[in-house]
Chain A
Amino acid sequence: AQSVAQPEDQVNVAEGNPLTVKCTYSVSGNPYLFWYVQYPNRGLQFLLKYITGDNLVKGSYGFEAEFNKSQTSFHLKKPSALVSDSALYFCAVRDMKAGGSYIPTFGRGTSLIVHP
C-alpha cells in the first residue's frame, strides 16, 4: 500500500523568507513523488517530480524539493517566498514496485500563506 502525509494544514511565512512545505510517504518499493500547486478556483498544476537520480529536484517558479530516502520525506522548498506563492500545495506518491497501483495517492494539501 502507498500513502502520503502532509502534517501541516497551513504554513505561514513572511515574504522574502524561505519556505518549507512538508511531505512524508510510505511505499513498499521505491517512490515516484510529485508536487502540485492549486491557486483559488483552479485545477492542480504540476510543479516538480522525483523519479530517480539527484535527490534535489528543481521545478517551476523557483521551487525545489529534496528527496530523503532514510526519512521517507519529500519536502517542498523555496529560498525566498513571494505573496503570489500563496496557494494550496499537494504532495503525491506512486509506488514503483511491480504490481503496485499505477494511480498516485495524494496528500490532503497544505495551505501556504505568504504575508507581505
Chain B
Amino acid sequence: GENVEQHPSTLSVQEGDSAVIKCTYSDSASNYFPWYKQELGKRPQLIIDIRSNVGEKKDQRIAVTLNKTAKHFSLHITETQPEDSAVYFCAASMNNDMRFGAGTRLTVKP
C-alpha cells in the first residue's frame, strides 16, 4: 500500500518568511495529492491539491509542486502570517484510497 512521509515534523518561521513542507510517496500509481490544514481543536480542511498531470499549482500565498519521477511533492507558503500557524498534512491518493503524512506543526512568530 501507499506510504507517505512528511518533513519536517515541526517548523517555526518568522512572520513574513516562507515555509516549505516536503512529502514523499511510495506508490507511483497515486495521482492526487491534497494538502490539509488543521487548526487547534478543529477538523482538517483542504487548502490546495494537485493532480499528477500538473507540476505546479498556486493559490495566492500557497503553492504546491509535484515531481512524479522522484515521487515527492511540496507545499510552499510565502509571506507567512500568524494565522497560518496550524498542523499541515499532505496525502497521496489513487481511486479514493488516500494515505496521509504524519503532519507538520507550523508556528509563525509575530
| A and B are interacting partners | no
